[in-house]
Structure 1
Amino acid sequence: MPNDPMPDWVLTRRRAVGDQIRAARLSHKLSQEKLGELVGLDRKTVNRIEQGAYATLLDHLILIAQALDVPLSELVQ
């Protein structure tokens, strides 16, 4: 049921992934805008991903991991 709200644990997990992305981005001294440029997303979308407010595509996560030079598994652990 796509219109059903996500369980709380999914939203919590999404925020944790966003925290991992933010930490990796900051350790590479990149702004949200620069990361967005590297992966083809706008700054607002990068912000939403980091906040856990956006259910991003797996493709975006793969591109983000590549841009940050970290294994995808590190972002989603």
Structure 2
Amino acid sequence: MPRDLPNWTYDRRRELGDRIRDLRLHANLTQEVLAEMTGIDRRTVQRIERGTSDPPYSSLLLIADVIGVPLSDLVG
């Protein structure tokens, strides 16, 4: 991942991760269950929720579908 990204991009990734975690918990899903249902590795789910990973669009679509929310609820 490039190191020359503006600082605000890291802040936004953390916000996205927090939102995903909150919605996942609201749906009563563990990270392990979310990973299993989306086909995304559990460690990747952890990194997305911590804001240390840049999830691809397709992963965000899968996460939103499994959690049962529109994609716009994830990305704000």
- State the TM-score, normalized to the length of structure 2: 0.94
Question: Which whole-Å CA distance do the structure 1 matches of 2:54 and 2:9 have between them?
Answer: 10
**Matching residue of 2:36:** 37
Gap regions ≥5 residues in structure 2: none
| Runs of 4+ with deviation above 6 angstroms | none
1:46-67 CA distance string (max 9 Å, x none):
0000001001100000000000
Question: Which whole-Å CA distance do the structure 1 matches of 2:66 and 2:9 have between them?
Answer: 25
1:8-55 CA distance string (max 9 Å, x none):
100100110111100010011111010000110111100000001001
Gap regions ≥5 residues in structure 1: none
**How many residues end up aligned between the 2 structures?**
76
**Matching residue of 1:7:** 6
Write the letter of the residue equivalent to 1:30: L
Q: Percent identity?
A: 46
Question: Which whole-Å CA distance do the structure 2 matches of 1:5 and 1:58 have between them?
Answer: 21
- State the TM-score, normalized to the length of structure 1: 0.92
